[in-house]
Structure 1
């Protein structure tokens, strides 16, 4: 489980996050939604120990990320790109990540197959499409077979086939009892993927609940999102 409690982040006189609090639970896909610049990435960076909050906590199973004993086996995350050197092959990149995390090399072929990159494993990353790069980043996140998966804008740049694939993949992870937290500003795709929704706007949580609860009387998640983040009816 992921838990945020009264998370606040200030930079100088600017408040980036204000009293952010919500949970992402096992067996559920939680969509963390907001306009660009709303605070989604800042929240995830604090969760993953890449930034520090001014106050409040971000915990994985009751522990800060920095306190996890075996982080790659607890949390898999994709934030910005694949993180792979462009001159390496996809397999070489994953071998390096596995070695750094103490994960058996045999796991590399398993995750390559899982994300559909087996045929491109020997290709240099510079020749990967945007969608292939996202699959490689996901493969790296899966090396430890983590209980928690955190993805920032996972469908950006994917073609329709790739979007359908990642939707099914995330639903399967949740069905297996894993925790999935994903951020996005693309409402149409998420409405077919998520169980729970958290909406953030200008650093504050403006709605949270099941998909049905957040949509409420609106025609769609997109309409609910528009109303919540602009204060306008549609």
Structure 2
């Protein structure tokens, strides 16, 4: 389970609390600049809160013994150097994490990049870069996935793929936390919703609870954020 417990970062986040539970897809939704990426960076030990805690199964990320087997993450796209091939990028991560090289071929097949594995990342489309980032997140066969804007840049077929993949991943008893500002692409994917704006949680609950008094997730999102971005 992923736990954000009263996390505050001065001028950015204000007493943010929620959980992402095993067997469920949690959508962390908000306008651009709302505080989503800052929260995920704190969860992954890449930044530090002014106060509060971010935990993976009750432990801070920095204290995990096998972090890649606990949490796979994609922040800011693939993170790969443009001159490297997709395969070389994944081989480098696998070697650094003590992951068998055969796993590289497995995740390339999972995300549909086998035929593009020898192509330089600089020639990848935005959607291909997203798939490569997801492949890297999957290398350790993690118990939880943390994905920042995973559908950004994907074509309709790619969006259908990621919806199916995330549903199946959660159905296997694993935890999925994804952030996005795109409501329509995710309403058929998520079980639980956390809506953040101006660094504050505006609402959290199941998808049914959040949309109970609204026609759609988009309507609920707009009502709770009042269309304002920072």
> Would you call these one fold, judging by a TM-score over 0.5?
yes
Alignment of structure 1 residues 162-173 onto 2, 5 Å: 162-173=158-169
Between stretches 77-86 and 98-107, larger displacement belongs to 77-86
Corresponding residue SS for 2:103: helix
How far is the alpha carbon of 1:231 from its aligned partner? 8.4
CA–CA distance in structure 1, aligned partners of residues 142 and 14 of structure 2: 29
Match for residue 29 of structure 2? 33
TM-score (norm 1): 0.95
Match for residue 9 of structure 1? 9
1:229 to 205, 225, 230: 225
How far is the alpha carbon of 1:87 from its aligned partner? 1.3
- Poorly superposed stretches of 4+, deviation over 2 Å: none
CA–CA distance in structure 2, aligned partners of residues 83 and 204 of structure 1: 28
Match for residue 85 of structure 2? 89
Q: CA RMSD in A?
A: 1.1
CA–CA distance in structure 2, aligned partners of residues 199 and 120 of structure 1: 36
Q: How many residues align?
A: 228
Match for residue 54 of structure 1? 50
Query: Could you give the per-residue CA deviations for residues 148-184 of structure 1, whole angstroms, max 9, x where no partner exists?
Result: 1000111111111111111111001001111000001
CA–CA distance in structure 2, aligned partners of residues 70 and 76 of structure 1: 11
Alignment of structure 1 residues 168-183 onto 2, 5 Å: 168-183=164-179
CA–CA distance in structure 2, aligned partners of residues 176 and 143 of structure 1: 17
Alignment of structure 1 residues 93-172 onto 2, 5 Å: 93-172=89-168
Structure 2: where are the runs of 5+ without partners? none
CA–CA distance in structure 1, aligned partners of residues 70 and 92 of structure 2: 19
Tell whether 2:181 aligns with 1:185.
Answer: yes
How far is the alpha carbon of 1:92 from its aligned partner? 0.9
Corresponding residue SS for 1:183: strand
Query: Could you give the per-residue CA deviations for residues 48-74 of structure 1, whole angstroms, max 9, x where no partner exists?
Result: 111000000000000001000011111
TM-score (norm 2): 0.97
Corresponding residue SS for 1:82: coil
